Amino acid sequence: MGAVYFYHLTQIPLETTLPLLLGKALGAGWRCLVVGPDQARLDRLDSQLWQGKADDFLAHGLEGGPHDKEQPVLLAAGHTAANAAKCAMCIDGADVSPDQVKTYERTCILFDGNDAQATQHARTQWKSLTDAGCAAQYWSEESGNWQMKAKKD
């Protein structure tokens, strides 16, 4: 069974944190799926990833393209097996079930800690996923550095 990592963003925006986490996941040899419920946001992230520095470039695509299965990073509105991802990055409150967590090596839930609704949704996800037996870690950048604040095996 995979593990779920919660990333409580308070200082660094998603647009900066996501490429860093994707780079680490790709470095571990995992294909990645970025799951978000808002297509406009996925379109903006797609554009931003294309505009990154050459040495920071992350090969990727939006779901529905002709090469989904070859994409190391696929941005999608829902969980899909199109690129055989081993890591899912769930953004903007994207849902993930315990069964979906099991299909990945790692599931990351990134949420805006400055948004009370997003924080509450992440708390609900933590409870439902850990109650279902998913191993979880909670990471916060509140101090300026990432620190693990909670862990449940």
Domain count, the chain: 1
Angle of the 39-50 helix axis to the 14-27 helix axis, nearest 10? 70
CA distance 149 to 137: 8
Give 81-84 contacts, CB < 8 A, sequence gap 24+: 83/31, 83/33, 84/31
How confident is the model at residue 55, as a pLDDT? 66
Q: What is the pLDDT of residues 37-63, one digit of tens each?
A: 999 999 999 998 888 666 677 889 999
Using CB atoms within 10 Å of the CB of residue 35, give its burial: 0 to 12 exposed, 13 to 18 middle, 19+ buried.
buried
**Length in residues, the chain:** 153
In which band, very low, low, confident or very high, does the pLDDT at 14 lie, cut at 50, 70 and 90?
very high
How confident is the model at residue 97, as a pLDDT? 96
Q: For the chain, what is the mean pLDDT? A: 93
Quote the domain boundaries for residue 89.
3-152
The domain spanning residue 45 has which CATH number? Answer: 3.40.50.10110
- Which residues sit opposite 148 in a β-bridge? 139
In which band, very low, low, confident or very high, does the pLDDT at 144 lie, cut at 50, 70 and 90?
confident
pTM for this predicted structure: 0.94
CB 35 within 8 A of CB 100: no
